[in-house]
């Protein structure tokens, strides 16, 4: 994705309001005083940040050739990555006061404001960022391969590629293609292959023509072409996986606007149009409603009745996916959601979530507090075929072939009869390392298997 990622976990104490305001001061003496105050309070990182600010402001005031905002921007990004977004925003604002053309500052301010629900302000900064810059090159000494990464700057529907493409080996050229003109394609730095990181089909849909034109003139190997992304939309997944043995999916329909519930024909009862839409696609109650292009359970609600659904739709802007809900509770009362990552169509286990709630996410399932949950996850990671059974593992392998993506993933559960029930399967699946000294460190060797397989695929695709 084009913005810096944040774990949204504040590790730095929130600064008082007066300190926040003072961060944007253009007076070097103010920052020196704040550096002293931070040092006396035991905040060495804060002290260093203000000393960098003082040095930078001095350089700009004297017209020095060393007048650059790089150090200040690193300070801001450090706070952003730590989750202290209020402080990060002020540092980015100081950066833009000195140099209004720092795209990364605009990018991350857009992310901060979007996270606060200030969508209009976020869009202002996003447009400003990509108006300044569409190509972002990240390289470290010793890189051996140059990868062009196609990204959507307007959205977070991008494949999380940080672990997949380590900077020690890969020169990463991130290209916000949705903001770039066709002419800019010919001006890109040299690259060895292309990874289409726009993994969400709803984000990619408006870019279909743009991506097709890029792919048509691209002479380098291209991973995850958009033609393979398109069929993974939630409402198309059943058709994509149709006919596979031991695979089940839930009926799903895409609801586009409110006209279907507001424009009843004369003599037709209330909700008739909506009922007809659901019936035509075999979607029954209870059902799940979620915004398109949403991930991580954002905006997901369970509707038990047509009245509840209509109330939900009347308050939402944009399209929604309506999916028949299937209660997949295990015999022990818990819900299990397995994740497998596909690299070059081959399956690799990534994690198992065991949750008391039907919305099963790793962060909310309290996995780390229950040794038995982690033990069960370890067994799945060590030997998924033994954990799932022969039928299910064969089905998972067949799904990878049917998806036909170079990188993808699947979230699923195991039904009592050994069949696989698919929640979703697409290219936006997250895979990342855990802290080496943390409770989830057991996952890292399996993440490494994924990363190693991805590297082998890159070597194979660029050979010759």
155-168 mean pLDDT: 86
Assigned domain for 430 exists: yes
Assigned domain for 263 exists: yes
Model confidence at 1: pLDDT above 70: no
pLDDT at 160: 80
Give the pairing of strands 420-426 and 247-248.
parallel
pLDDT band at 267 (very low <50, low <70, confident <90, very high): very low
Assigned domain for 8 exists: no
Lowest mean pLDDT among 18-22, 193-197, 331-335: 18-22
pLDDT band at 159 (very low <50, low <70, confident <90, very high): confident
Write out the residue range of the structural domain in which residue 123 sits: 17-132
Kindly state whether residues 214 and 294 are assigned to the same domain.
no
Model confidence at 265: pLDDT above 80: no
Assigned domain for 343 exists: yes
Question: pLDDT above 70 covers what percent of the chain?
Answer: 93
227-243 mean pLDDT: 97
Q: Which of 191, 226, 261 is the last residue of a domain?
A: 226
Model confidence at 10: pLDDT above 80: no
Lowest mean pLDDT among 18-27, 132-141, 273-282, 332-341: 18-27
Give the pairing of strands 287-291 and 301-303.
antiparallel
Lowest mean pLDDT among 193-202, 267-276, 354-363: 267-276
Model confidence at 11: pLDDT above 80: no
Assigned domain for 111 exists: yes
pLDDT band at 258 (very low <50, low <70, confident <90, very high): low
Whether 450 and 431 have beta carbons less than 8 Å apart is answered as: yes
Whether 126 and 110 have beta carbons less than 8 Å apart is answered as: yes
For residue 280, the domain's CATH number is 3.30.1490.20
> Over the stretch 384-399, which tens digit does the pLDDT of each residue have?
999 999 999 999 999 9
Kindly state whether residues 447 and 349 are assigned to the same domain.
yes
Residue scoring higher pLDDT (363 or 313): 313
Assigned domain for 424 exists: yes
Lowest mean pLDDT among 65-69, 228-232, 258-262, 337-341: 258-262
Whether 1 and 197 have beta carbons less than 8 Å apart is answered as: yes
Model confidence at 257: pLDDT above 80: no
Kindly state whether residues 110 and 58 are assigned to the same domain.
yes
Mean pLDDT over the full length of the chain: 91
> Over the stretch 283-301, which tens digit does the pLDDT of each residue have?
999 999 999 988 888 889 9
pLDDT at 298: 84
Predicted TM-score (pTM) of the model is 0.86
pLDDT at 212: 97
Kindly state whether residues 394 and 416 are assigned to the same domain.
yes
Residue scoring higher pLDDT (154 or 17): 154
Model confidence at 335: pLDDT above 80: yes
Kindly state whether residues 128 and 165 are assigned to the same domain.
no
Model confidence at 309: pLDDT above 90: yes
pLDDT at 19: 81
119-144 mean pLDDT: 94
pLDDT at 67: 94
Assigned domain for 237 exists: no
The number of domains in the chain is: 4
Assigned domain for 282 exists: yes
Residues 6+ apart with CB under 8 A from 335: 328, 329, 354, 355, 356, 357, 358, 360, 413
Lowest mean pLDDT among 13-17, 18-22, 184-188, 307-311: 13-17
Q: What percent of the chain is helix, strand and coil (3-state, nearest 5)?
A: 45, 15, 40
Q: Which of 269, 302, 324 is the last residue of a domain?
A: 324
Q: Which of 114, 132, 150 is the last residue of a domain?
A: 132
Kindly state whether residues 99 and 160 are assigned to the same domain.
no
Kindly state whether residues 68 and 144 are assigned to the same domain.
no
Could you check whether the bond before residue 286 is cis, i.e. omega within 30 degrees of 0? Answer: yes
Kindly state whether residues 118 and 148 are assigned to the same domain.
no
**246 Rama class: left (phi>0) / alpha (psi -120 to 50) / beta:** left
């Amino acid at each position: 994705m084009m913005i810096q990622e944040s774990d949204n976990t504040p590790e730095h104490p929130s600064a008082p309001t007066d300190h926040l305001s003072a961060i944007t001061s253009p007076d070097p003496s103010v920052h020196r005083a704040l550096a002293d105050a931070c040092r006396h309070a035991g905040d060495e990182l804060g002290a260093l940040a203000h000393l960098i600010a003082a040095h930078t402001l001095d350089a700009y005031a004297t017209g020095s050739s060393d007048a650059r905002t790089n150090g200040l921007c690193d300070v801001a990004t450090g706070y952003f990555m730590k989750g202290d977004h209020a402080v990060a925003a002020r540092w980015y604002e100081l950066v833009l006061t000195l140099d209004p053309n720092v795209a990364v500052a605009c990018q991350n301010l857009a992310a901060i404001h979007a996270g606060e629900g200030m969508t209009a302000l976020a869009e202002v900064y996003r447009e400003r960022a990509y108006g300044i810059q569409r190509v972002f090159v990240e390289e470290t000494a010793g890189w051996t391969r140059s990868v062009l990464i196609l990204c959507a700057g307007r959205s977070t529907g991008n494949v999380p590629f940080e672990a997949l493409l380590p900077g020690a080996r890969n020169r990463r050229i991130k290209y916000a293609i949705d903001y770039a003109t066709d002419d800019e394609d010919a001006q890109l730095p040299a690259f060895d292959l292309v990874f289409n990181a726009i993994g969400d089909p709803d984000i990619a849909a408006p870019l279909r023509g743009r991506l097709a034109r890029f792919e048509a003139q691209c002479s380098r190997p291209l991973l995850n072409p958009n033609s393979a992304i398109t069929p993974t939309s939630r409402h198309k997944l059943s058709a994509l996986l149709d006919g596979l043995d031991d695979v089940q999916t839930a009926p799903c329909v895409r609801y586009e606007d409110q006209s279907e519930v507001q424009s009843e024909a004369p003599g037709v009862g209330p909700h008739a149009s909506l009922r007809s839409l659901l019936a035509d696609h075999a979607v029954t109650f209870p059902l799940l409603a979620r915004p398109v292009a949403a991930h991580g359970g954002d905006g997901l609600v369970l509707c038990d009745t047509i009245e509840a659904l209509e109330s939900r739709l009347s308050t939402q802007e944009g399209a929604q996916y309506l999916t028949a809900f299937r209660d997949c509770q295990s015999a022990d009362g818990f819900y299990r959601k397995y994740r497998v990552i596909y690299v070059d169509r081959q399956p690799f286990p990534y994690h198992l979530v065991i949750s008391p709630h039907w919305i099963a996410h790793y962060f909310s399932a309290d996995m780390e507090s229950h040794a038995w949950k982690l033990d069960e996850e370890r067994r799945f990671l060590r030997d998924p075929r033994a954990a799932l059974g022969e039928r299910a593992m064969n089905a998972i392998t067949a799904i990878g072939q049917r998806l036909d993506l170079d990188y993808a993933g699947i979230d699923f559960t195991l039904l009592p009869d050994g069949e696989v029930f698919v929640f979703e399967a697409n290219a936006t699946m997250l895979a990342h390392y855990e802290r080496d000294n943390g409770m989830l460190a057991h996952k890292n060797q399996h993440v490494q298997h994924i990363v190693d397989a991805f590297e082998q695929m890159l070597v194979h695709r660029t050979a010759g």
